Copies of this chain bind each other. A is one copy, B any other.
Amino acid sequence: MNTTSRTEENYLKAIFQLCERSEEPIATNAIAHAMKTSAASVTDMIKKLSKKELVHYQKHKGVRLTDSGNSMATSLVRKHRLWETFLVNKLNFSWEEVHEIAEELEHIPSKKLIDRLDDFLGNPKFDPHGDPIPDSAGNFTFRKQISLPELAEGAEGVLVGVQDDTMTFLQYLNKLNLTLGTKIKIVERFDYDESTKIVINGKQEQILTNKVCLNLFVKTI
């Protein structure tokens, strides 16, 4: 049986995302935290994934995805992001609503379905949160982007992505009128509280905390 369960898929995707943020082997606890489950459950699952050669694993040393695990996770990310794009672009959902639904849709198995969906959407390269959508072969489009604190005082950028895509953060951005494509100019930085004054689309002035700035990616213009 070379089949992969929904649960195994969710673990693979979580491990993939942890791998993106570190070169080190991923700790059991880190996975447990990401999956909101116990370390014991993670150990059980890791053993299973290891037996299926989807992760490299040595006791007490953490895990990395194998090539086959990586390509499976990439396919899940592709599905997740294409469905998110569908929900926003075709069904008029807003960007903070789609993650949860895509979390389910990503497990629909048909490759033909996802390739057709990709075409139907016009082969988008980025999802509603600005994250890259791997193509049918698993290749990601790389984009030169910097986080807002890296943008020089006086310089301008276009908001192209967010680091954090939790509901609460995205809803907060909605309130601030910060959507993807928005033009942001750095007016002034205040050392006192590490806040930043920006101008949105050339008109609206706004003060952002450093926490918010760290979660915004812009393309310079």
Contacts and interface: CB of A to CB of B under 8 A. Distances in A.
A93 interface: yes
A104 B109 contact: yes
Please tell me how many copies of the chain the complex holds.
2
Interface in A111-130: 112-113, 116-117, 120
Contact of A104 (B90, B97, B108, B116): B108
A117 B97 CA distance: 15
B109 A93 contact: no
Nearest to A83: B108
A186 interface: no
Nearest to A98: B113
Nearest to A115: B91
Interface residues on A, range: 10 to 19
B104 A91 contact: no
A90 B108 CA distance: 17
A116 B93 contact: yes
Contacts of A112: 93, 97
A120 B108 contact: no
B108 A91 contact: no
A91 B113 CA distance: 8
Contacts of A116: 91-93
A120 B91 contact: yes
A168 interface: no
Contacts of A110: 101
Contact of A108 (B92, B93, B101, B113): B101
Interface in A85-107: 87, 90-93, 97, 101, 104-105, 107
A10 to B, nearest CB: 15
10 contacts: A87-B113, A93-B112, A97-B112, A101-B108, A101-B110, A101-B113, A104-B107, A104-B108, A104-B109, A105-B108
Q: Which 8 A/B pairs are nearest by Cβ-Cβ distance?
A: A91-B116, A104-B108, A101-B110, A91-B120, A101-B113, A90-B120, A105-B108, A91-B117
